[in-house]
A = this chain, B = another copy of it.
C-alpha cells in the first residue's frame, strides 16, 4: 500500500508517492524516539532553542520547493502557502524564545521551614518532558499544523522527541519537511509514519507518552478512545470541531452592514473555508440593515470558485450543503419563498465548488445546522429580537471562537460577549476569527468539541501539554537539576511563595 501524492487541481497522482509505514517500522521509530528521549531532555534550553531556529532557517532555505510541493497537493495557492511557511518558521523561533525565557518550567522552591503543620522538608518542583509524543498532521495546514507545525514544535521545545503521522492529503510535502527537520535535529528526535493503520499503531505504541491531534471530531474521538484504552493510558490533546458563531448586533448592522458583510465573506471563504476557525454560523438581524449585510456578503462571494483539499472533503461539503438547503427550505415559514440558498447549489466536477450560504430564521436553527461543515459554507441566522438571539446563542455547542460585532456602549454586544465567553476559547470583537496569531496570549482551544482538554494547541502555553511536574524533596544541590539549585538565575522562580524574576 502506498499513500500517493495527488495533484489537487488535476486529480493526477504526483511523481512522489510514499509507502505506508509497516507496523514494524512504526515500532522501530518509536523505539528510536524513546532512545533519543533522555538525551533530548538533557539538551540545554539554549541548545534546543538554537536547533529550533536552525530548523526554521533550513525550511526557509528550501521555501520554493516546499511551497510548490504543497501547492500541487493542496491547491491552496502560492501566496497562502508562502504565508503559512513564514508562520511555521516564526513559530519555531517563537518557541525557541519561550524555551529560553524559562517560565514554562514553573520553577518553585520551598525551603525547609516550620509550618503550622510542623517541620516541612525542602521541596523543589519543576516540569520535565513527558517523553516521545505522537503528532497527527492536519489536512488543512500542510505546514503550520503538520510535520513542522505547532504540535511538533511545542513538543520539541518541551524536550520531547516527536513521531509525526503525516496526513494523506499532502504526503510529499510532509516527506520533504521531515527530511529537512531531520537534517537539523539529533537522531531519533523527529521521525514520521504514513497511513491510517500506522497512525493507530503509533497511538498504541508503549513508548509514546502523549498525542497531539488536529482533525475531525470522529477521527479524533476514535484515537482518544485508543489512547485511553491502553494498558497505560496517555493524554490525548485533540483540536477537533468548531462552528464558530459570529454575532452582529442591530447597532453594528445599522452602522457597518457593507463592511461586515464583505469581511465575513472573506473570512468564511479564506483557505476555501477549510479553517477550524471559520465563522460557520452568523447571527444577523432581520430587516433592512441585515438584508444589506447579506447582500454585501453574497455579492462578495458570487462567481468565485474554491478548490477543496481532498475528494472526501468535497463529497462531505456537497452532501452537507444540499441537506442544509433542503432543511432550510422545509423550515421556511412561507413554503413559496426562496429556499434561502445563496450559492453553490450545483454539484461541480472535481474538487472545485462555489460558496454556499444557507439563510434561516434564528428560531428555526436545528442541531444539524450547528454542525461544522468544512468548505466555503455559512449558515446565516436572522433574528427578530434580542430575546430570540439570546435563545439561539443559548443552544450553541462549545467552540474554538466566537465573534461579536457591536458598537460603543452596545449593551447587546456586551451581554453577547459574556454569554459567548462561557462557550468558547477565544472571543473576537469587531474582527474575524480566521487568523490565529502565534504569541504569548493566544489560546486555540475551547469546550468540547473545540478540544477535549484544558489546553491550547497554539501559543506559548502549548508546551504545557508535553510536560509533567516532578518534586525533589530534601535532595542535595549536586543531585538536583541545575534550574532548582539555589544559585540559579536563568528563569523566573517562585521561592518560598514569592515569584522572583531573574536579575539578568
Q: Would you give 24 A-B contacts (Cβ < 8 Å), ordered by A?
A: A83-B117, A108-B441, A117-B438, A123-B441, A123-B442, A125-B440, A225-B228, A232-B398, A232-B448, A408-B476, A425-B471, A426-B471, A427-B472, A429-B472, A429-B473, A429-B474, A429-B476, A431-B474, A440-B496, A441-B494, A442-B471, A445-B468, A454-B464, A461-B469
A447 CB contacts on chain B under 8 angstroms: 232, 468
Give the residue name and chain of the B residue nearest to A230 (CB).
B448
Interface residues of A in 333-383 (CB under 8 A from B): none
Select A441's contact among B125, B225, B456, beta carbons within 8 Å.
B125
Is A421 in contact with chain B by the CB < 8 A criterion? yes
Say whether A428 contacts B474, CB under 8 Å.
yes
Say whether A110 contacts B448, CB under 8 Å.
no
Q: Cα distance A430–B112 when bound, in Å?
A: 14
Say whether B431 contacts A121, CB under 8 Å.
yes
Is A263 in contact with chain B by the CB < 8 A criterion? no
A228 CB contacts on chain B under 8 angstroms: 224-225, 228
Say whether B492 contacts A439, CB under 8 Å.
no
Say whether B474 contacts A125, CB under 8 Å.
no
Per-position binary interface string of chain A over residues 393-406, scored 1 when its CB falls under 8 Å from any chain B CB and 0 otherwise: 00000100000000
Select A90's contact among B115, B428, B430, B441, beta carbons within 8 Å.
B115
Is A443 in contact with chain B by the CB < 8 A criterion? yes
Is A288 in contact with chain B by the CB < 8 A criterion? no
Say whether B474 contacts A430, CB under 8 Å.
yes
Say whether B426 contacts A443, CB under 8 Å.
no
Is A272 in contact with chain B by the CB < 8 A criterion? no
A123 CB contacts on chain B under 8 angstroms: 437, 439, 441-442
Say whether A414 contacts B235, CB under 8 Å.
no
Say whether B117 contacts A437, CB under 8 Å.
yes
| Most chain B CB within a 10 A radius of its CB, from A408, A454, A496 | A454
A470 CB contacts on chain B under 8 angstroms: 421, 424-427, 443
Interface residues of A in 191-246 (CB under 8 A from B): 221, 224-225, 228, 232-235
Select A110's contact among B398, B441, B454, beta carbons within 8 Å.
B441
A121 CB contacts on chain B under 8 angstroms: 431, 437
Contact flag A428-B473 (CB < 8 Å), given A224-B228, A438-B117: yes
Contact flag A86-B116 (CB < 8 Å), given A424-B470, A461-B106, A472-B427: yes
Is A15 in contact with chain B by the CB < 8 A criterion? no
The number of chain A residues touching the other chain, given as a range, is 35 or more
Is A452 in contact with chain B by the CB < 8 A criterion? yes
A414 CB contacts on chain B under 8 angstroms: 478-479
Say whether A429 contacts B475, CB under 8 Å.
yes
Q: Cα distance A233–B449 when bound, in Å?
A: 9
Per-position binary interface string of chain A over residues 403-434, scored 1 when its CB falls under 8 Å from any chain B CB and 0 otherwise: 00000100001100100011011111111000
Q: Cα distance A213–B344 when bound, in Å?
A: 51
Say whether B501 contacts A235, CB under 8 Å.
no
A86 CB contacts on chain B under 8 angstroms: 116-117
Q: Cα distance A225–B228 when bound, in Å?
A: 8
Give the residue name and chain of the B residue nearest to A41 (CB).
B422
Select A439's contact among B120, B427, B465, beta carbons within 8 Å.
B120
Per-position binary interface string of chain A over residues 310-321, scored 1 when its CB falls under 8 Å from any chain B CB and 0 otherwise: 000000000000
Select A233's contact among B422, B452, B459, B471, beta carbons within 8 Å.
B452
Q: Cα distance A342–B421 when bound, in Å?
A: 61
CB-CB nearest 9 A-B residue pairs: A443-B471, A110-B441, A108-B441, A125-B441, A123-B441, A443-B469, A429-B475, A426-B471, A454-B468
Say whether A224 contacts B233, CB under 8 Å.
yes
Say whether A454 contacts B467, CB under 8 Å.
yes
Shortest Cβ distance from A236 into chain B, in angstroms?
Answer: 9
